[in-house]
Chain A
């Protein structure tokens, strides 16, 4: 099936939370352009609005000003049309559903005939390395395995745009590295536009074509750094001096130096 992966575009997006006596500018004049088929990492301290930006792009939250386009559509149209896929910080699996049925959940929400997708479901479970666990319940899996199920679930609709909010935040460092390598492999096979929200600089550099750094209060983009390393990237990259130089550079931007 010929597909034209679409991009993500946030233009001068503003969003303000009004609390008791205090207003918080979660996003101020936020601009973000993700080219079709590119991988973007969104990084910043807690409360900088990076998760909010993603939730706005997904239509989970509204915004006060500006324009948001996902593959040329409004967030609501895009999500209801099955254009997007999403993986959250926590696997957020339904504990009473088997692995296969959890993977199929987005199809059910979109009102598609799940029985026609059994081949795709099996293929994705294989892709994330869980072949043989199709009928297992989430409670029987390790944290890393559950996170892989959520990655498989995010891909079941063959999304043109893939959103990930700290998908490996709950994993330990070693497992996180493994999942980074696997995510790169999976993403390169799907050719979708990916937006990854993360705390980890090394994870951002390893996976992304561009790293977008945000600061808090008000939530805004302070710098966009292109990552020059060729693909496919090998895990050795983590110990490459150029990799460390880039890490230091981003860290300085992140800490406002």
Chain B
């Protein structure tokens, strides 16, 4: 065991060394797109020359993402606890939660810049980036407690509050920590995106934007590496903490009982309808309240009604609608294509992972690292390599959907007990038969979950590429509207992209429920 671990480590180090050498040679020789990929030494040299610039930018980004991380997580954990205590509240807030999950940060960055000032847009976007992940981790952690321990507390006369205090909160800590781990890079991404759309002097996003026109690949790569390093470090910190703690928290025996969800059908039809109404209207109410609270003039900040007016009632509405539809016509097909390709690729690779376990072992760390890469920092680099055509959009979309889907699918397949996999083998089944009978059906629920979860990412990826590279679609419309001070359009694009994302999410959910019910399977949250 120890030996194979050491040899695995040695192999990883060897692979890394080979990678760096190849990178260096390719870079020095300017083999890729005429020098778009500089050698590592060139990037490091550039970093050294620019060393005076970095501290200010790094500090601004770390400060904004750190503060946003803190605020977002405090809210998320409090909300998670409240949702677990009151299922009705959870149902009422479902619309808001899904909207926050689905909103492409790039679309609302300009809005935040319009309505808030100073560091506030960056902090808000970072906080929005972490909220959903941590909130759902908290809810899951608090819901999956050991019913036997809860029985024990109750057997001594303890009530719900004592169960929450003694059993559930402590038991949820590993889940919350893994939520924080995934959320940390999101905060960095959020802060950088807001810097992008928000002006200001400092921040890695600002620095990147300012360096785009200089035609110096080494500097762009340097900024990308630094941003990735910050995001990766924030991920690593929580990974270490959670591995320390989860050792003492993992239940020592298997609990077979699942806590029942109370209150799902506790109400009559009319009250259920009322809750549904609340669920749908609440996001719009919050939107309206946000504008009223910030006190930004109507001209700049559009309420839901303002957006409706802009799109349907004004003299210029027809033109605005035309622009919007044209942009959607460019964005949606490529987002769909990229998503399908990314998911298909992930699915194929994941179901064949049982056949090439060695490959997966080597590939998983790479997949995990890319998860922490701030997308914005990566895009200019891809533009350098792939140019400004559609292929760059496609590749970005594929990569943002592929990696999370792949990780989710592999984890899903790994949950299949070994004995179930061994059974077809024991009857002499071929690898293909085994895959057809076990791996593919086992991976199917996770494919749906991955589809739902990657929709906003795909949209975000396409819009970033459009903004920075291709000059088409929704991303470009957003960018141009900023230039023209077309506030109505900025709000419209933000609202439409969120609505679209939510709509696709539910569409997948419906197809998923139907399919899985037909196959007699459970869907994965």
Chain B contacts with A in 161-179, Cβ cutoff 8 A: 162, 166-167, 170-171
Bound: A60/B171 CA distance, A? 22
Bound: A88/B155 CA distance, A? 10
Q: Which residues of B have CB within 8 Å of A222?
A: none
Cross-interface CB contact of A109 among B148, B162, B248, B251, cutoff 8 Å = B162
Bound: A41/B255 CA distance, A? 25
Q: Does A58 contact B (CB under 8 A)?
A: yes
Q: Which residues of A have CB within 8 Å of B247?
A: 139
Bound: A92/B152 CA distance, A? 8
In the complex, are the beta carbons of B157 and A76 less than 8 A apart?
Answer: yes
In the complex, are the beta carbons of A93 and B252 less than 8 A apart?
Answer: yes
Q: Does B427 contact A (CB under 8 A)?
A: no
Cross-interface CB contact of B248 among A59, A95, A105, A106, cutoff 8 Å = A95
In the complex, are the beta carbons of B253 and A88 less than 8 A apart?
Answer: no
Chain A contacts with B in 184-227, Cβ cutoff 8 A: none
Cross-interface CB contact of A96 among B152, B157, B170, B255, cutoff 8 Å = B170
Contact flag A146-B252 (CB < 8 Å), given A92-B149, A94-B149: yes
In the complex, are the beta carbons of B252 and A109 less than 8 A apart?
Answer: no
Q: Which residues of B have CB within 8 Å of A110?
A: 156-157
Nearest Cβ distance between residue A33 and chain B, in whole angstroms? 22
Of the candidates A59, A86, A93, A95, the one having the most CB atoms from chain B within 10 angstroms of its own CB is A95
Bound: A146/B251 CA distance, A? 12
Chain B contacts with A in 153-201, Cβ cutoff 8 A: 153-158, 162, 166-167, 170-171
In the complex, are the beta carbons of A92 and B248 less than 8 A apart?
Answer: no
Bound: A136/B370 CA distance, A? 39
Nearest Cβ distance between residue B73 and chain A, in whole angstroms? 21
Binds B, one of A10-18, A77-85, A124-132: A77-85
Q: Does A49 contact B (CB under 8 A)?
A: no
Q: Does B146 contact A (CB under 8 A)?
A: yes
Q: Does B41 contact A (CB under 8 A)?
A: no
Contact flag A88-B250 (CB < 8 Å), given A94-B170, A96-B170, A106-B156: no
In the complex, are the beta carbons of A105 and B166 less than 8 A apart?
Answer: yes
Q: Which residues of B have CB within 8 Å of A134?
A: none
Bound: A143/B152 CA distance, A? 18
Nearest Cβ distance between residue B248 and chain A, in whole angstroms? 5
Q: Which residues of A have CB within 8 Å of B154?
A: 59-60
Q: Which residues of B have CB within 8 Å of A105?
A: 152-153, 166
Q: Does B433 contact A (CB under 8 A)?
A: no
Nearest Cβ distance between residue B67 and chain A, in whole angstroms? 30
Bound: A81/B155 CA distance, A? 11
A78 to chain B: closest residue by CB:
B157
Q: Does A108 contact B (CB under 8 A)?
A: yes
Nearest Cβ distance between residue A226 and chain B, in whole angstroms? 29
Nearest Cβ distance between residue B160 and chain A, in whole angstroms? 12
Q: Does B249 contact A (CB under 8 A)?
A: yes
A86 to chain B: closest residue by CB:
B155
Bound: A19/B154 CA distance, A? 24
Contact flag A108-B166 (CB < 8 Å), given A79-B156, A82-B156, A84-B155: yes
Q: Which residues of A have CB within 8 Å of B249?
A: 95-96
Q: Which residues of B have CB within 8 Å of A81?
A: 157
In the complex, are the beta carbons of B248 and A137 less than 8 A apart?
Answer: yes
In the complex, are the beta carbons of A79 and B253 less than 8 A apart?
Answer: no
In the complex, are the beta carbons of B156 and A95 less than 8 A apart?
Answer: no
A110 to chain B: closest residue by CB:
B156
Indicate with 1 or 0, residue by residue over B245-280, a CB within 8 angstroms of chain A CB atoms.
Answer: 001111111010000000000000000000000000
Q: Which residues of A have CB within 8 Å of B53?
A: none
Q: Does B30 contact A (CB under 8 A)?
A: no
B255 to chain A: closest residue by CB:
A90
Q: Does B151 contact A (CB under 8 A)?
A: yes
Bound: A141/B253 CA distance, A? 12
Indicate with 1 or 0, residue by residue over A92-105, a CB within 8 angstroms of chain B CB atoms.
Answer: 11111000000001
In the complex, are the beta carbons of B156 and A88 less than 8 A apart?
Answer: no
Contact flag A95-B166 (CB < 8 Å), given A60-B155, A76-B157: no
Chain A contacts with B in 145-164, Cβ cutoff 8 A: 146, 157, 163
Nearest Cβ distance between residue B265 and chain A, in whole angstroms? 13
Q: Which residues of B have CB within 8 Å of A79?
A: 155-157
Nearest Cβ distance between residue A68 and chain B, in whole angstroms? 14
In the complex, are the beta carbons of B250 and A92 less than 8 A apart?
Answer: no
Nearest Cβ distance between residue B178 and chain A, in whole angstroms? 16
Q: Does A91 contact B (CB under 8 A)?
A: yes
Bound: A234/B148 CA distance, A? 33
Contact flag A88-B148 (CB < 8 Å), given A110-B157, A170-B253: yes
Bound: A65/B357 CA distance, A? 60
Contact flag A60-B248 (CB < 8 Å), given A79-B156, A96-B170: no
Nearest Cβ distance between residue B512 and chain A, in whole angstroms? 25
Chain B contacts with A in 219-250, Cβ cutoff 8 A: 247-250
Cross-interface CB contact of A90 among B153, B156, B167, B253, cutoff 8 Å = B253
Cross-interface CB contact of B251 among A76, A95, A143, A163, cutoff 8 Å = A95
Q: Does A138 contact B (CB under 8 A)?
A: yes
Q: Which residues of A have CB within 8 Å of B148?
A: 88, 90, 92
Nearest Cβ distance between residue A77 and chain B, in whole angstroms? 9
Q: Which residues of A have CB within 8 Å of B170?
A: 94, 96
Bound: A108/B156 CA distance, A? 10
Bound: A94/B151 CA distance, A? 12
Bound: A157/B146 CA distance, A? 23
Cross-interface CB contact of A139 among B152, B158, B252, B255, cutoff 8 Å = B252
In the complex, are the beta carbons of B157 and A109 less than 8 A apart?
Answer: yes
Bound: A7/B153 CA distance, A? 22
Chain A contacts with B in 38-91, Cβ cutoff 8 A: 58-60, 76, 79-82, 84, 86, 88, 90-91
Cross-interface CB contact of B152 among A80, A86, A138, A157, cutoff 8 Å = A86
Q: 4 closest A-B pairs (Cβ-Cβ)?
A: A80-B157, A92-B148, A109-B158, A109-B156
Instruction: Show 15 residue pairs from A and B whose CB-CB distance is below 8 angstroms, ordered by the A residue.
Output: A59-B154, A59-B157, A79-B155, A80-B156, A86-B155, A86-B156, A88-B148, A88-B152, A94-B167, A94-B170, A96-B249, A108-B166, A109-B158, A139-B247, A146-B252
Which positions in A face B, CB cutoff 8 Å?
Answer: 58-60, 76, 79-82, 84, 86, 88, 90-96, 105-106, 108-110, 137-139, 141, 143, 146, 157, 163, 170
